[in-house]
Structure 1
């Protein structure tokens, strides 16, 4: 089946396929030909710059639980393991699915294990399943100590991770990636972290979840802004491709610079200590600089990592305020 742009579309690897279409197979006997990417390459393929998307919501959600008077440290650690495993899993899943489709062939940015041919698709797929499975085990352990229906939420998270770019009709190719990021790495991660520790969800958790979700979306959106040319060419219709370059840059500013301070102001009704969240604004402003100055391609790569740091800075600053308020109560 061909894409409108004429490129071959591969919904999955055919039996016997070792490397994606368009990638040069490594020389026989090489480490890559044996599926032997180095540890450093596997770590790079896990996209460490996106890891703040995992830890920020857990930090923020745990601080909300502390402010509510019910912080449970070991549940917070399990929640962090769930989130970290899931984001690594989704990164490997994206690497695998985009790689076998050939949409990573001409892309700038971090190393693509599948698209570059340094690791066999089957090995990357196994890594994705291993990471998602680790998160599932930790999530089941949490659900057994809180509510059984969290297993259903976890299953939805895993499905969202895989079908972002996997399957015959990946929703990430339809401009819905940022919606999923907001829901799962914002609302679900923050509210879920509070719930497993307190058994309830407080009103002040919602602005925290909205801010974290917005900042998490910014990381994804800047990544897709960078990839507009290659994604448009290969038929990957992300939200950035749909909006176009100028409006995508405007949305990055809205999500990364304006919404978090607004949520901080709302949180101040719960405690004035939440205003510490404003300390993260300079970090967010700096992270958005390449976007504002119309940087393109590889010049946007630093903005991805800095956007993740802006999210982590907001989560840590806000968490500090909530914990201080809890200690002084």
Structure 2
């Protein structure tokens, strides 16, 4: 374990367990969903804020779940080069982390009640499946994060679902004829633009996981944790990284070529120097000393890209 020490306070340990450095990644897709909604004229403040709070709670709950299950399954060892895990490091008792996980997911459900009243059955399915996916990523008898499926989970839930779900609850909230608790997707509540706009967030979120798994590849192999990086090796994992990052910069060009969006959609390209800089590190390094800062920089790239993309989508409608 990289930095665990006996003198870490309980309060600091809980902050470490929540991993605040990951929260921009949880917020970024919601920001994009809001941008698409503003462009379409369906922005709704209440559902947007609830989607943001719910996304952050699910992110924190998943962080607690990963910390707990990786420790009890023996995946977090003293050789791991990543940020300190509080359960494996003995900073917080496993039972406490497990209770915190349940409480955080419980709060997400409470927030979700409001969104369910607006979005109905589709939000029930998305919310409960998202929580289940967060737990089963490293928990349960067959943790799919240990079988090379973690990248798919992140792409779907932290990209496609998060962006389109944020758009959906706002769109439905502005459709008076829909009423409370729709059981199907009302026409126009999920658009091709929303789905396409989710791809950059999906790609950059997945790129964060790729960096994490490249850094931990050797220790994961030793612990029997078969991430996609374990299966692919360093070269093809880096190809995956470049594909995910590259997609984030191709999609805005497609939007800019659409007359309904125009050149404002190119705003995310302002973040390209960040992406190029961190890519150089990921393409050449495997050690935690280099990849831990890179991990945070990819998260920063995701958040900046998402802010710029949301602004580029929104500005033509508000200027």
Once the two structures are superposed, residues 201-241 of structure 1 have per-residue CA deviations (whole angstroms, 9 ceiling, x without a partner) of 22211221111101000011101110001000000000011
Q: Tell me which of 94, 108, 121 is aligned to 2:94.
A: 121
Structure 1 partner of 2:121: 148
- Asked if 1:271 corresponds to 2:271, the answer is no
Select which of 280, 293, 302 maps to 1:289.
Answer: 280
Equivalent residue for 1:325? 316
Aligned to 1:91: 63
Q: 1:316 and 1:283 mapped to 2: Cα distance?
A: 14
Contact map agreement 2:10 2:91 (CA 8 A) in 1: no
Q: Deviations over 1:55-82 (max 9, x none)?
A: 0000000110010101111211110111
1:1-329 aligned within 5 A: 38-105=10-77, 106-199=79-172, 200-256=189-245, 258-268=246-256, 269=258, 270-272=260-262, 273-328=264-319
TM normalised by structure 1 equals 0.86
Q: Deviations over 1:235-278 (max 9, x none)?
A: 0000011101111122112212x111111111111312111121
Q: How many residues align?
A: 296
Tell me if the contact between 1:45 and 1:110 (Cα under 8 Å) persists in the aligned partners: no
Distance 1:72 1:147 in 2: 16
CA distance in 1, matches of 2:135, 2:310: 31
Q: Distance in 2 between matches of 1:40 and 1:165?
A: 24
Moved more, 139-148 or 49-58: 139-148
Contact 1:49–1:304 (8 Å) recurs in 2: no
Q: Distance in 1 between matches of 2:23 and 2:254?
A: 27
* Deviation readout 1:278-300 (Å, 9 max, x if unpaired): 11211211222211232423320
**Length-normalised TM-score, structure 2:** 0.89
- Distance of 2:276 and 2:12 partners within structure 1: 31
Give distance in 2, aligned partners of 1:212 and 1:294: 24
- After TM superposition, give the deviation of residue 313 of structure 1 in Å: 1.0
In structure 2, distance between residues paired with 1:276 and 1:307: 18
For 1:232 and 1:185, the matched residues in 2 are separated by 26
Give RMSD over aligned pairs: 1.7
Unmatched runs of 5 consecutive residues or more in structure 2: 173-188
Greater helix percent: which structure? 2
Would the aligned equivalents of 2:266 and 2:309 in 1 still touch at CA under 8 Å?
yes
**Segments of 4+ in structure 1 off by > 4 A?**
none
Q: Does structure 2 retain, via aligned residues, the 8 Å contact 1:226–1:298?
A: no
Name structure 1 gaps, 5 residues minimum.
Answer: 1-21
2: CA distance, partners of 1:168 / 1:298: 33
Distance across 1 between alignment mates of 2:7 and 2:65: 22
